[in-house]
Chains A and B, each alone.
Chain A
Amino acid sequence: MAADFGYVNARVRGLRSRLLPEGFFGEQVGAGGFAELSAALAQSPYARELDEARAEHGPLAAVDAALARNFVRVTGSLLDASRGAAHELIALLLRRYDLANLKAVVRGLHAGRTADETMVAVLPAGSLNASVLRAMAGAEDAAAAGQVLAIARHPLSEAFRKGAAAYRDDGDLLRFEVALDRAFHAQWIADAKRLPAPAGFRRWARAEIDATNLRTALKLRDRPADPADYFLAGGRDLTPAVYARIASLPKGEPLPQLKGVLSPVSGAADASEAESRLVGALDLILRRLSLDPLDVGLVADYLRRKERETAQLRLLARGKYYGVPRAALAKELGDA
């Protein structure tokens, strides 16, 4: 049975109409400085968050904080507006923010940071809210933080508990993080199969695993790490052999011929070109998925658009604040 996305998608269409228009960035690059951008944002859907953030932060940090708050508010509203399978699917889409926040908590505990110090490194855009994350960040150790996570009934709580137990014995942060990554991706694929989503969504979920593996292989080039330690199962178009081959290529060597969803990345000369083509390929899948007005694809596509808009605004704000030349700024924005 398909999840009920009728109501949620009506809200998403409303939210999508509140995304900044295509021409906004082009106009702002050509317009004045940071003050003009702030004024434009004060007239945009970010006005409320910007007003709040200005009371607490300096000019640039206020923009960052406003963008983060707006994103958290939007994702929170999507979770609140959905029920049943639709809620689970949206929570699945947002679970990577939970993963990033759990890693921040673990890193904070590893480095002996206070809860306040750790909380500046989290973005509670997933199903774990700020109060749960603060309780975890202020826990005595990773095992105690795992108990807080278990009370919140989070899907990663079991993996966290096991990781914390191993960490107590060896203190190996890297191993802990990799265990969380593996558990997250295994559950990502399992939940994508379990939940009532269209086949296209499952293909996209597997393509995301392939993309993560490809990105990891590119990051591991010229490093002594064993690539096999970081390969994630569940993808479709990137075999372990091709992954290992890419990881062993020296930087600057073009990528080999790839297949399926990764085929546009074939022959990319460097990591940034590969990333740009990869994002294009994944966005294309999402755009196709979003054509169904009664399924999860519209939410996934909206979230991707929102993330890109947030990143572009961060870039634009920094560019204006530091006086980056217009041509350089326009080029960077074009890579989005």
Chain B
Amino acid sequence: MAENIAPTRSNLLQRRDQLKLAVRGADLLKRKRDALIGEFFALVKTSLAARRALTEASQEAYLSLFLANAWDGPESLRSLGLAEGRALDVEIKVENLFGVKVPQVQPPEFGDAELPFSPMGVGARTLDTAAQFRALTEAIVRVAATETRLRRIGEEIKKTSRRVNALEQLVIPNIGRQIKDIRSVLDQRALEEVTVLKRIKSKLESRDDERQAKERSRTAA
């Protein structure tokens, strides 16, 4: 026995309750893990699609930048870069998924059509490049959103698996052994009591027999 537990009936009942609770907990955690795994694989598809979209957006944006730098000149692009000095707002909500708090990130809305500078004199390729990089930023945020969710769910699956394993491999067998030990001690005690009682009974019976034998001999005399 790992710890010293008084082999009493109350402890036995307590351990039995604990065993029931542990088995039920392990079962619940296994169901949670299965649900998280289902969610994880569903999200993997979304994440792979977001990665593919990011790769495509990146290729298009950098090709566009390559051409705009060549045709419109790097100074022209740097000049427009000075005008585009706005911050990017990303909305993040926290969603509860089977008890796991996962972030839900909304990709930014650029209002693609807005022009922060005069379109006159700006190369068409430069404007295309600006639009492509907006699309690339959206793709980056989408990948960040799905991969953060994926990581959080993955971490939770690992944590839940560790808990299930701890319950199944350690806690439940441990309680089972404790119950067995207590029961064995209690059974032994019960057996000893029966034996004592039998001996007392046999002593009482032999005393009765002796007393009866004395009475019979006295009557006969």
Question: A interface vs B, CB < 8 Å?
Answer: 64, 68, 96, 99-100, 103-104, 107-108, 110-113, 117-118, 120-123, 173-174, 177-178, 180-181, 212, 215-216, 218-220, 222-225, 230, 232, 271-272, 275, 310-311, 314-315, 318, 322, 324, 332
Contacts and interface: CB of A to CB of B under 8 A. Distances in A.
B85 A111 contact: yes
Q: Give the secondary structure class of A's interface.
A: helix
A332 B64 CA distance: 12
B137 interface: no
5 contacts: A68-B75, A112-B85, A117-B82, A318-B70, A322-B66
Interface stretch (B109-117, B166-174, B183-191): B109-117
Interface of B: 66-67, 69-71, 73-76, 78-83, 85, 113, 115-122, 124, 127
Contacts of B75: 68, 100, 104, 120-123
A111 B78 CA distance: 13
A289 to B, nearest CB: 22
A311 B70 contact: yes
Q: Which of B73, B78, B82, B113 counts the most chain A CB atoms within 10 A?
A: B82
Given A111-B83, A315-B70, A332-B67, A219 B78 contact: no
Q: Give the secondary structure class of B's interface.
A: helix
Contacts of A100: 75-76, 79, 121
Contacts of A104: 75, 78-79, 82
Contacts of A232: 120
Contacts of A108: 82
Given A123-B73, A215-B124, A275-B124, A220 B82 contact: no
Given A104-B79, A111-B83, A121-B81, A318 B66 contact: yes
A107 B76 contact: no
A178 B121 contact: no
A172 B97 CA distance: 45
B113 A222 contact: yes
A110 B81 CA distance: 12
B30 to A, nearest CB: 52
